[in-house]
Amino acid sequence: MTDPRAHFDEVLVQQLRDVWADTGTTVLDSAAREYDVSGWVNGEFDNHLEFLGHDGTAYRAVITASTVEDRPRRVLCTLRIQDAANVLVESAAALGRESR
């Protein structure tokens, strides 16, 4: 198998952009809460996707996102990525102003 980090950087990142650009820029957690990742998809400078690892079945990464609610908040979401079409938010933590 290809090195997981290399596959993430060289293949999966572009696949995620393509899928999210085509199907919508929200990802869900297990409680169906939505998080908007359009800032990263659109290449905004203060939005990042960072590789955390691969456990043999899925990738883990963190991404800057916004909550989808009346008063959106910026959050850092930990993702479990089976493939570009199967992404689950495992957790989300609020970003303070100093994190921008």
Q: Tell me how far apart the alpha carbons of residues 58 and 54 are, in angstroms, rounded to a whole number.
A: 6
pTM: 0.91
| DSSP per-residue codes, 20-47 | HHHH-SEEEETT--EEE-HHHHTT-TT-
Distances (CA, A) of 52 to 9, 63, 71, 73: 12, 10, 29, 23
Residue 98 has pLDDT above 60, yes or no: no
Structure confidence at residue 57 (pLDDT): 94
Structure confidence at residue 97 (pLDDT): 59
Q: Where are the domains of the chain?
A: 4-99
Render pLDDT for 60-73 as a digit per residue (tens, 0 to 9).
Answer: 999 999 999 999 99
